[in-house]
Amino acid sequence: MKYKDALTTSMTLLGQVDNTIFLGQSIVYPGHAMFHTLRGVPLEKKIEMPVAEELQMGISAGLALEGYLPISIFPRMDFLMCCMNQLVNHLDKIEQMSCGQYRPKVIIRTSIGSVSPLNPGPQHCQDHIGTLRKALKNIPVWACKSSQGVLLNYEVAMKYEGSVVLVEYTDLYEEES
């Protein structure tokens, strides 16, 4: 199975869960490689966001507190870094700040951008996995390095009690694994 097909399968399965809602840039309208992996997600479950990463993460946390399971999509890991306040100081710490009263669950989907056939430049293809793992105390960061890894990580993310960050590799989208 191709890597992208595993992502499409995972997103379709998540789209069938009653309380899921997908939000991010270019998820209703094409604009990046992740768009095509969302073709099996019902349109009414998608919220197109502007380029406002911190706002998106804040909305995701709020939706999670209201009982939704947000799938918050950041097409490039470089731009996930723009929402570090909401991710590190809020979503990651809400359970502690509320003395265990709240534990919002958000599945955060991001990718390390492709460098071929055209290198998009240094702010579109960086790997910040190590930085995220150091900064996040309660949210795991999982790398999806194969199609089997994609399927397993998204399956485990659905069962996991808290939020997770899943990192994809855009260079693998057309490869068999």
Three-class SS state of 47? strand
> Which residues on neighbouring strands pair with residue 142, listed in sequence order?
166
Prediction pTM value: 0.94
CA distances from 74 to 18, 67, 77 (A): 22, 21, 7
The CATH number of 3-172 is 3.40.50.970
Show pLDDT as tens, one digit a residue, over the chain (177 residues).
Answer: 999 999 999 999 999 999 999 999 999 998 888 999 999 999 999 999 999 999 999 999 999 999 999 999 999 999 999 999 999 999 999 999 999 999 999 999 999 977 776 667 777 777 889 999 999 999 999 999 999 999 999 999 999 999 999 999 998 987 765
Q: What is the pLDDT of residue 35?
A: 95
Domain layout of the chain by residue ranges: 3-172
- Identify which of 50, 51, 54, 26 has the alpha carbon closest to the alpha carbon of residue 38: 26
Q: What distances in angstroms separate CA 35 from CA 55, 87, 103, 126, one per listed residue?
A: 20, 23, 29, 20
